[in-house]
Structure 1
């Protein structure tokens, strides 16, 4: 979508002034180059047209598919850590001072001084921290899920009474022009609507505003690998149906207790991201290679990804005392399930 939006911007500028690119010293090859930078170098073979292979390091600046170290990440680290009040231990300005281009395996790469390995790791750790404490926060996730449900329910009916050729919400991604008009205003559009067809969506958004959110039952970390989300949901549903509440007046319904699986990593799934970064030494500044294990801190984790299993109680309507009883029973059921299944802890 970023490339489509860039094309749309160029198209609109050319409509005003056909020679706008030439006036800024740009040509069609530069346009190709910019779009390739946005997408990043995805393959090991050189198939790119914007620049020759000797300029391959340029493709590691905006969207680095080699190891994930790029200015896009640095930008949102600085922005989000500032606004969230989360400490950012990664120093991108220092890392820039120790960055240089070296040839590795016949191709030019952006490499860093070996003593900056811990600083590079701090970058990947910051990414994990932001996802753990903000982007994948237990409340953030459930609000996202509710908002998505509201949009799905409003998809077809939001533009009721308007021209037939007007796109649905889900179709706005087809063109950059329509996508650029899909702003946060849609939240207010649904809330202020009076259509009966949008009532379900309005109710969901009103619950978000009034903080009538699904209650968080519990969270566990998967200590075993290769357990599918489908299998986890299946066993959880069976556990809820099998569970006998200690309070005879309470009954649990698996449909009211959805399970979510959250993936957290350092940017390279289960791999150590440092293994894809090239470093040079003070004595050999023009020779770079992957850093050795003994040069890294012994405090690095043994695993670089984890899966979290979260359960919520989504039936927030009804008597508060009854809801509390069901929450207590749901927590007990979840604990029993964690203790007896899949190495959850």
Structure 2
């Protein structure tokens, strides 16, 4: 789609540009998605140019520099990776982008920052829950808006933005009732409830990379007699989340070239990671009914026992918690019951800090008031010119 949009922009704006230049630009865009392309880069004239935008060999490129710096800053995720230093220490040697040997650890930090952002931001529990709801709403609205056709046409694709959600909400078409219901839940913060998740054992990672877990796989493990209901595939959502360093289960820095020295993982540090990929299976429940939620949790636990021989669950949300909105009371306030020693000490500490700040603010206000009264009581030093008006 990116190359088709490029062609559309050139045609619409009548840009006179060398076709060979356009071809090279497209090759740089498609470098990471074209099979076998990486093998031909080294034989090209100025092949190092294909390592800058989308590096097909190592994944170390300015595209990652851009979104890692931007998303870390705006999402408040700390990062140790310094992309400016890496660029300053980079040179072109023998038609390849080469890094200074001292930046080997910094390069590892880039991939660690990427994995951290995927865990904490891109694949956050709430983010994926909301993502599933929006996806379901768009699927339900597809017969009316024909979104599947729009994503195949670059001109129509460029028109798609967040306004499509407002169009669905305000439409009076009866075919959009299901989509409107989902978006209504989203506005009321009735997000698909997080049930549980697990990390696939590392020895099974390769298998589950090509065999994703489906809703049917989980529902076939349900215990109907325990909950007295039948869990259906459309009652839950299953996410298969792959978090890696950008090269599957491999170490992406193996292909990185350094000036003067070839750096291996052991030469950087003995504390470098030895595994570079993990797969998480996460389950959400669409229904707000407590029994459906509990059935989904038990079915997922049974699925893990059958698939992995043991439960790999990280944490879960109980049925009671899933159907209650959590409210935070103000610091130092106890609602409906006795307060524990810990909360008592917290309340006492908060009260002391509050009283201290209040006293300081009162002192400051008194100082301002006294200065203001001094100014008002000071006699005016300006000369009285009222006699001039009398003469006139």
Q: TM-score range by the shorter chain?
A: 0.7 to 0.9
**2-structure distance, mates of 1:264, 1:243:** 37
Contact 2:266 2:272 in 1 (8 A): no
Secondary structure at the counterpart of residue 63 of structure 1: coil
Contact 1:134 1:140 in 2 (8 A): yes
Change over 3 Å in CA distance of 1:156–1:340 after alignment to 2? closer
Contact 1:241 1:254 in 2 (8 A): no
Contact 1:125 1:266 in 2 (8 A): yes
The farther-off stretch of 145-154 and 335-344 is 335-344
**2-structure distance, mates of 1:199, 1:300:** 52
Match of 2:51 in 1: 60
Q: CA deviation at 1:63?
A: 1.1
Secondary structure at the counterpart of residue 127 of structure 1: helix
Match of 1:211 in 2: 189
Secondary structure at the counterpart of residue 239 of structure 1: coil
Match of 1:138 among 98, 101, 125: 125
Secondary structure at the counterpart of residue 280 of structure 2: strand
Contact 1:229 1:261 in 2 (8 A): no
Match of 2:249 in 1: 270
Which deviations, in whole Å up to 9, do the C-alpha atoms of 1:40-86 show, x marking residues without a partner? 264145389xxx82300001111111111111111111111111111
**2-structure distance, mates of 1:265, 1:259:** 19
**Is residue 112 of structure 1 aligned with residue 136 of structure 2?**
no
Normalised by the length of structure 1, the TM-score is 0.80
Q: How does 1:168-207 map to 2 (within 5 A)?
A: 168-207=146-185
**Is residue 310 of structure 1 aligned with residue 310 of structure 2?**
no
**2-structure distance, mates of 1:233, 1:194:** 32
Which deviations, in whole Å up to 9, do the C-alpha atoms of 1:126-157 show, x marking residues without a partner? 11111111111222122222212211221121
**Is residue 237 of structure 1 aligned with residue 215 of structure 2?**
no
Q: CA deviation at 1:302?
A: 2.2
Structure with bigger gyration radius:
2
Q: CA deviation at 1:242?
A: 5.6
Q: How does 1:78-157 map to 2 (within 5 A)?
A: 78-103=69-94, 108-157=95-144
**1-structure distance, mates of 2:306, 2:81:** 40
Higher helix proportion (structure 1 or 2): 2
Match of 1:342 in 2: 308
Q: CA deviation at 1:332?
A: 4.8
Secondary structure at the counterpart of residue 220 of structure 2: helix
Contact 1:243 1:333 in 2 (8 A): no
Secondary structure at the counterpart of residue 150 of structure 1: helix
Q: CA deviation at 1:257?
A: 3.5
Secondary structure at the counterpart of residue 282 of structure 2: strand
The farther-off stretch of 146-155 and 168-177 is 168-177
Report which structure shows greater RCO (CA 8 Å, sep ≥6). Answer: 1
What residue ranges of structure 2 are gaps of 5+ in the alignment?
Answer: 313-392
Tell me the matched-pair count.
303
- CA RMSD, Structure 1 to Structure 2 (Å): 2.5
Secondary structure at the counterpart of residue 262 of structure 1: strand
**Is residue 261 of structure 1 aligned with residue 252 of structure 2?**
no
**2-structure distance, mates of 1:119, 1:329:** 46
Contact 1:261 1:309 in 2 (8 A): yes
Which deviations, in whole Å up to 9, do the C-alpha atoms of 1:233-283 show, x marking residues without a partner? 5553232136624xxxx6452432443221111100111111121112xxx
**2-structure distance, mates of 1:308, 1:194:** 40
